[in-house]
Amino acid sequence: MDPLDDFGFNEMKMNVSNKVQNVISVKTSSSKKIILSSKIENFKIQVGPKVIKACSILKNVLKFTNDAESIIEVEMTQKQLEKFIELHEHFSEDDPWNKKEQYWMKKFFSKMSDEDFKELCWKADYLDSQRFLNNAAFYLLSKLQTMKIADFQQYLNIVNDYSEDEKQAIKDGPFKYFTSIAIEQENLELENIEDNRHVFYPLKKHKMEFIFQKQNFSFPKSLINFTFTTSMIPKDLFYKLYSTCKYFFLNLKLLPCQRLRAGIYETNNFHISYGNELIDLPLTCVKNLNANFYICHEISETSRCSPENLNILLKKIIRHEITYACVVNKDLTLTVSEFMFLFTYVKDAVLCMKVFDANNKMVPVEDLLQLLPNVQNFK
């Protein structure tokens, strides 16, 4: 038995030997036929419901035309059309468009050269398939994770538009640099936290120079926009991505950090860290922070924070993988949805706050515990 059968490589074997009609038929539940015709080669292929359902343009043809047979001309070779259809036929018709099979996806695309993969992405863009976009995006991200910044730039055809001073600041500490430029208020004092009992890590103020290079990426804009979103990018790729050019940070403005601690050391400040980069900032600057947080591990807070400042800080968290949470502030109030968003992945929790349901009734602790499926230790 072919070991790749389980991953769908042999599920769709197309018969291209019909020299008379040079048309391949794939059964469809509809009486209407949709045929993709290559503008490049003498090749046509009828597509089935798996392809039609995934492609906006084909769904519209099916919906808004009365022809028994519709022929759509595409700038794709026979090989590209077959690969495009093979990807869709691998999945079940009922599978959601964003279903991922990472092993199969990597095997499927890695058979192509880099140039063939890029060209297929450009040619498939016309058909607007969410399933193709999803799989191509995850494959692209998996490739970029293994690349150095220079290779990353070359692969995506990126022009580095940072000045030499900016490049040096990023090299010295990307987390500190991008956090600094995200703070909008120019006259905000960032080095004003003082306490003789503790070591603090003030932030040097940087300012991004307003010289930008329009990027002509080596992939279609639709794939770039879909791939490089705050919910798609792996946590260890953000600062590498930001370091390539200004485009990504200005579009994403998400700051991954491993820990966020508020109100520590009996001061009204918060502490964030990523790797060996540590930053202490006054809580007042959160209002001037033109970026959001992606918390990768821990959030801690004490009742030394005002609930107003703390609420502003928590609303800056739009993505997280928080496994440890210590939030002790009896004046803090959250809705059930806010509570679930912040603490869904938590394994160790020390929590003291008020949580209200949609009827403005306070939720009992035992009910809150039911909302924490991963918690192992709770106080």
**Per-residue pLDDT in tens (0 to 9) along the chain, 379 residues:** 333 333 233 333 333 333 223 444 444 445 788 999 999 999 999 999 999 999 999 999 988 888 888 999 999 999 999 999 999 999 998 888 888 888 999 999 999 999 999 999 999 999 999 999 999 999 999 999 999 999 999 999 999 999 999 999 999 999 999 999 998 655 555 544 454 445 556 677 778 888 889 999 999 999 999 999 988 999 999 999 999 999 999 999 999 999 998 876 555 678 889 999 988 887 777 778 889 999 999 998 765 677 777 888 888 999 999 999 998 888 889 999 999 999 999 999 999 889 999 999 999 988 988 989 998 988 8
If asked whether residues 181 and 257 sit together in one domain, one would say yes
Q: Is the residue at 269 inside a domain?
A: yes
Biggest CA pair distance of the chain: 87
- Of 91, 114, 144, the residue that ends a domain is 144
3-state SS, residue 377: strand
**Is residue 156 domain-resident?**
no
On whether residue 153 sits in a domain, the answer given is no
Q: Specify if 243 maps to a domain.
A: yes
Judgement on whether residues 181 and 302 belong to the same structural domain of the protein: yes
CATH assignment of the domain containing 8: 3.30.710.10
- Kindly state whether residues 230 and 344 are assigned to the same domain: yes
Residue with tokens 């306070």: 362
pTM of the model: 0.82
Report how many domains make up the chain: 2
Length of the chain: 379
Which residue, 54, 44, 4, is CA-closest to 21? 44
Domain boundary among 115, 144, 173: 144
Does residue 150 form part of some domain? no
- Containing H/E element for 295? strand 292-301
Residue 157 forms part of a structural domain: no
> Residue 159 falls within a domain, yes or no?
no
Boundary (domain end) residue, out of 83, 110, 144: 144
Same domain, 212 and 326: yes
Based on the fold, state whether residues 121 and 217 are members of the same structural domain: no
* One domain for residues 181 and 268: yes
**Cβ distance 116 to 218 under 8 Å?**
no
What residue numbers bound the domain in which 290 lies?
164-378
Token pair of 128, please?
Answer: 């607007």
Phi, psi (rounded to 5 degrees) for 375: -65, 135
Q: For residues 183 and 316, state if they share a domain.
A: yes
Same domain, yes or no: 236 and 102: no
Residue 151 falls within a domain, yes or no? no
